[in-house]
């Protein structure tokens, strides 16, 4: 919860500018100060963190760390402001990332003293990338036990699991490493399809760019949804995918078909889910028979044409349900379902839940109403 401070109007209030980063405009920061009956009411988005409203973030780095696992979340945190970010290696020396780019280190893990707000553990290239030594894990364990919260990106979850800090918790990691995480650490409840998982004050994210989603969730938790939304918009990324959303899209999960006409059909369905995509219409577009088109879909997509269209429409509806206040019936029409009942049956078939239940679980706190 934001902390409310009240000061006399004769005092100069500067604290809001300490917690707002370079992606937050003066116009937004000015809105944080509200004058009420001769008083200045200051909303402090730091949420009661370190002295001066700055949260201490330690990023544990090591040789072979994935560069984007570090850079993505840090760009988000830097953009929101209110964080003191330090990189810590096992010996305080610089490290080389998975692509050979060196990263400087601010201090050794053993030299991290006092309270730590957030410990962030980025991942390594799986399965053949370099993994840090036992001394590194000892440092993680020590800091993790006294940090207010712990977060991992990608295969950083495997390192976190080795410290024992994931025992008895739900977690996720890169889809390619989920089976390994589950088999090696049976006390961890692995959720293989989630973008990120929050279990108490421990958060784990899926592969690579999902670390950006995790960092945006941290910013929303610390500073509120408006700040997180502003940072996401500035970075030109999806405005916070819900953590339980799938790591995959149906189109992205399909290998590029060899048949050019089939590729065009797949893309056309994604571009306009609500258009007429009957079997006859698609066969005519591809200039093949309906029977031949069905064979092509089964061979190269693994689905029938109708199943593919249904899944694309379900995904389009998921986005609207997550990010808007549009009514269920309007969502159904917008995504090509003939009725909300048809969409309900499709959701049960594909996701095992209803549109209403899905919205209640995954809707973001900053959903926007643009259709009545």
Buried b (16+ CB within 10 A) or exposed e, 173-189: bbeebbebbbeebeebe
pLDDT at 111: 98
105 has pLDDT over 80:
yes
pLDDT at 314: 93
6 has pLDDT over 70:
no
356 has pLDDT over 90:
yes
Residue for token digits 């997550």? Answer: 322
Residue bearing the bigger pLDDT, 83 or 371: 83
In tens, the pLDDT along 242-278 reads 555 565 566 556 666 788 889 899 989 988 999 999 9
The 10 Å Cβ neighbour count of residue 299 is 12
201 has pLDDT over 70:
yes
Reduced to 3 states (helix: H, G, I; strand: E, B; else coil), residue 237 is: coil
pLDDT at 241: 58
Alpha-carbon distance 116 to 134, whole Å? Answer: 22
- Cis status, amide bond into 51, omega within 30 of 0: no
In tens, the pLDDT along 291-301 reads 999 999 999 88
183 has pLDDT over 50:
yes
Alpha-carbon distance 45 to 21, whole Å? Answer: 12
pTM of the predicted model as reported, rounded to 2 decimal places? 0.62
64 has pLDDT over 90:
yes
Nearest to 319 by CA among 363, 275, 265: 363
- Give the ranges where the chain is alpha helix by DSSP (H): 26-30, 67-80, 134-146, 156-162, 178-184, 210-223, 225-234, 260-271, 279-286, 290-300, 305-323, 328-334, 340-350, 355-362
Alpha-carbon distance 332 to 346, whole Å? Answer: 10
Average pLDDT in the 98-116 region? Answer: 96
Average pLDDT in the 68-80 region? Answer: 95
Domains of the chain plus CATH, in order, are 3-44 (no CATH), 51-234 (3.40.50.880), 260-362 (1.10.10.60)
230 has pLDDT over 60:
yes
Q: What's the whole-number average pLDDT of the chain?
A: 82
In tens, the pLDDT along 303-318 reads 999 999 999 999 899 8
pLDDT at 137: 96
């Amino acid at each position: 919860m934001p902390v409310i401070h009240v000061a006399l109007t004769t005092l100069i209030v500067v604290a809001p500018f300490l917690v707002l980063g370079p992606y937050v405009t003066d116009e937004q920061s000015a809105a944080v100060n509200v004058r009420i009956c001769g008083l200045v009411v200051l909303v402090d988005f730091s949420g009661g963190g370190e002295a001066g409203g700055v949260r201490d973030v330690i990023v544990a780095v090591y040789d072979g760390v994935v560069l984007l696992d570090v850079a993505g979340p840090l760009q988000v945190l830097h953009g929101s402001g209110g964080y003191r970010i330090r990189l810590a290696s096992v010996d305080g020396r610089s490290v080389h990332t998975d692509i050979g780019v060196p990263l400087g280190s601010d201090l050794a893990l053993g030299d991290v003293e006092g309270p730590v707000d957030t410990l962030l553990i980025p991942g390594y290239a799986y399965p053949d990338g370099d993994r840090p030594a036992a001394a590194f894990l000892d440092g993680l364990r020590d800091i993790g036990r006294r940090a207010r919260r712990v977060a991992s990106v990608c295969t950083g979850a495997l390192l976190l699991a080795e410290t024992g800090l994931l025992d008895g918790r739900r977690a996720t990691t890169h889809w390619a490493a989920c089976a390994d995480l589950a088999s090696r650490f049976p006390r961890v409840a692995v959720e293989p399809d989630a973008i990120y998982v929050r279990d108490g004050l421990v958060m784990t994210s899926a592969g690579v760019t999902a670390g950006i989603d995790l960092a945006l969730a941290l910013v929303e938790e610390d500073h509120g949804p408006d700040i997180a939304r502003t940072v996401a918009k500035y970075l030109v990324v999806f405005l916070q995918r819900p953590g339980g959303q799938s790591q995959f899209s149906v189109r992205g999960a399909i290998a590029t078909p060899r048949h050019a006409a089939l590729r065009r059909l797949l893309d056309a369905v994604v571009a306009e889910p609500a258009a007429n995509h009957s079997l006859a219409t698609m066969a005519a577009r591809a200039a093949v028979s309906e029977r031949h088109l069905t064979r092509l879909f089964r061979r190269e997509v693994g689905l029938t044409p109708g199943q593919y269209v249904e899944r694309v429409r379900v995904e389009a509806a998921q986005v609207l349900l997550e990010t808007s206040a549009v009514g269920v019936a309007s969502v159904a029409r917008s995504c090509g379902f003939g009725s909300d009942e048809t969409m309900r049956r499709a959701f049960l078939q594909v996701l095992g839940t209803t549109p209403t239940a899905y919205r209640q679980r995954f809707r973001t706190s900053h959903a926007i109403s643009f259709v009545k």
